[in-house]
């Protein structure tokens, strides 16, 4: 049985579109040096490269996952700003 590598990220860094593909930096937070007043910085751990069609499929899948988490009570849906 083969093992697929996993990577933990805290979020997305820079995103750019060039040469017909989307490039997204996957980042983690790095603690500032001890005693430093600086905020945590981000460090790129990996880059995700995909086609526009791949982006659409990814967004569709993520939206379905978010909706499932809302339905289960894991996340709470927020109303857009400006809605009364």
Q: Could you report the per-residue pLDDT of 3-44, keeping only the tens digit for each?
A: 999 999 999 999 999 999 999 999 999 988 787 778 888 999
pLDDT band at 83 (very low <50, low <70, confident <90, very high): low
pLDDT band at 84 (very low <50, low <70, confident <90, very high): low
User: Any bridge partners for residue 70, and if so which?
Assistant: none
Asked if 45 and 9 count as a contact pair (C-beta separation under 8 A), the reply is yes
* Domain segments of the chain as ranges: 11-71
In angstroms, the CA 56 to CA 62 distance is 10
pTM of the model: 0.75
Q: Could you report the per-residue pLDDT of 48-59, keeping only the tens digit for each?
A: 999 999 999 999
């Amino acid at each position: 049985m083969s093992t697929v590598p996993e990577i933990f990220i805290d979020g997305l860094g820079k995103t750019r579109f060039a040469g017909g593909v989307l490039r997204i930096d996957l980042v983690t937070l790095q603690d500032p040096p001890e005693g430093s007043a600086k905020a945590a910085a981000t460090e790129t751990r990996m880059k995700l490269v995909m086609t526009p069609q791949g982006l659409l499929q990814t967004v569709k899948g993520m939206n379905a996952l978010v909706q499932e988490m809302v339905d289960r009570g894991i996340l709470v849906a927020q109303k857009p700003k400006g809605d009364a």
